[in-house]
Structure 1
Amino acid sequence: MTYCVGLMIDRGLVFMSDTRTNAGVDSISTFRKMQVWEVPGERVIVLMSAGNLATTQAVVSLLDERCRSISEHGPTVLETSSMYQTARLVGNTVKEVIASSSPDGHRGDSYFSASFILGGQIKGSEPRLFHIYPEGNFIESTEDTPFFQIGETKYGKPIIVRAYDRQMTFPETVKLLMVSFDSTLKSNLSVGLPIDLLFYERDSLKVKLQRRISQDDPYFRTITDGWSNALRAAFASLPDFPE
């Protein structure tokens, strides 16, 4: 299982993904689920993935390979004219990979399915964020839908819905996402550390910060311990049911 979040704030885009994959409780591995293509001063493209590992790796590898050679499939992610066209390119690549992998042809609900969060900015346009489905179609983030989640989403969503504010600072946003991930990690063992974090600042056209957060990260430990204590204190402060 996987948990990835892409979130838009006034300052830019924040991405966070776990790194655990498993084929049962006795077969757990660590794989990076966040891919970045960057041309400083021209574009930053971030892609996070969830679903069948072979499918997600094939999609990322194919996109990356086509950046290194002349492609017969049109512009690469380093050449697309807009983020919308980049989302179309990724969606078409997803369909291509799943269709070639599935013995029954392309089906979004097949064993080979995968979903993606795509975000970034290309010079001359605004930062944009997309959710790409296994069928290859996609939706874009709006004022009403400022974030996307893929993978194991249900445990980490409530805190984002309650606490998110588009005017949040980057440090506040990281704190919010760490609480969201902490809730997910404690509820589902198939989501696990380390966590990859990336911050893209609006109009900078370069990655502002990229970091891997491990089990012994002091800030993460502060957040997870503090959140547990705060929840217990909040629960204790609520009135008991009247008999």
Structure 2
Amino acid sequence: MTYCVGIVVREGLVMMADTRTNAGVDNISSYRKLRIMDTSPNRVIAVASAGSLSVTQSALSRVAEGVLMPGHDTPETLDSAPSVFRAAQIMGQALHDAKDAIDRVVEGADVSTGATLLLAGSIDGRRPRLFLIYGAGNFIECQSDTPFLQIGEHKYGKPVLDRMITYETPLAEAVKIGLISFSATMRSNLAVGLPIDLMTIRSGVSAIEVLHRIDTDDPYYREMNDRWSNALRAAAAAIPLPEYASAPHEMPPD
């Protein structure tokens, strides 16, 4: 499994994805889940994936070769998309076609073909946009009232984002909070693990500002992880005990 998150704030966009694809006592493997699909001048489009590797790999290969959209005679690629919205439509069609083809091949077998994608980017200096694309090809867009989207093993990291992220959060702060959500996830789920791939785009600049891989020896991540654990313990210790937990009481009869 994996965990991917995209965050859109006023200052720009953050995308993060771990690289773990399988976990067990003696079986751990990694695969890059955050891919930069287009870095032509004054445009950048990135895709993060979760779910069936065969489906997501097929979808990415299809979109690289060109996707025939309904009602059109010429295949389209992300490089030719005039907007991030159109890029989401193209990527959604590619994912739909890939899943449909693989579903027919594995019909009757106990094989999961579920897959989701996060697609984000900026073109011609327009504000960054972020979409969550489902296996059927439909998608939703990230909005300022809840300025993040997640795929994969998201339940452990979501409370952190819910409490701490707003549209006015500074971009660097959004990176930090995103990493805290990964720390919370990896603490509780072996199916998510380092390395973490990180990308940021600054609003008004359709180019990658930061592209970084966080591994086990990353000094900032190690310090942040330790500080977050210590801060949680200190916060819990600072909260008074509930009166009903310490009040004397009689044991109920057997």
| Structure-1-length-normalised TM-score | 0.91
Check conservation: 2:12, 2:127, Cα contact below 8 A. no
Q: Which runs of structure 2 are paired with 1:167-186 in the superposition (5 Å)?
A: 167-186=168-187
Structure 2 residue 195 is the aligned partner of structure 1 residue 194? yes
Deviations 1:147-203 (CA, angstroms, capped at 9, x unpaired) = 100000110001111011222222211110111000000100010000000001112
Using the aligned pairs only, state the percent identity: 43
Q: Any idea what SS the aligned residue of 1:154 has?
A: coil
Q: Which amino acid aligns with 1:54?
A: S
- Could you say if the C-alpha distance between residues 241 and 8 of structure 1 is closer, same or farther in structure 2, counting changes exceeding 3 Å? same
Runs of 4+ in 1 over 4 A off after TM superposition: none
The equivalent of 1:130 in structure 2 is 131
Which ranges of structure 2 fall in alignment gaps of 5 or more residues? 68-72, 248-254
> CA shift at 1:73, angstroms?
5.2
Q: Secondary structure, in 3 states, of the residue corresponding to 1:225? A: helix
The letter for the 1-side match of 2:137 is G
Write the letter of the residue equivalent to 2:192: V
In the superposition, the TM-score normalised over structure 2's length comes to 0.87
**Distance change in 2, residues 1:147/1:73 (3 Å):** farther
1:35-73 Cα shifts (integer Å, max 9, x gaps): 112334331101000001111111122223449xxxx75
2-side partners of 1:73 and 1:117: how far apart? 25
Match of 1:20 in 2: 20
2: distance between equivalents of 1:32 and 1:120?
18
Partner of 1:48: 48
Report if aligned partners of 2:66, 2:75 keep a CA contact under 8 Å in 1: no
Q: Does 1:166 align with 2:167?
A: yes
Alignment partner of 1:78: what SS?
helix
1:102 is paired with a residue of what secondary structure?
A: helix
1:1-243 mapped onto 2 (5 Å cutoff): 1-22=1-22, 24-66=24-66, 74-103=75-104, 111-123=112-124, 125-242=126-243, 243=247
**RMSD after superposition:** 2.1
Letter in 2 for 1:176: I
Distance 1:32 1:238, change over 3 A: same
Structure number with greater Rg is 2
Q: CA deviation at 1:121?
A: 1.0
Would the aligned equivalents of 2:22 and 2:191 in 1 still touch at CA under 8 Å?
yes
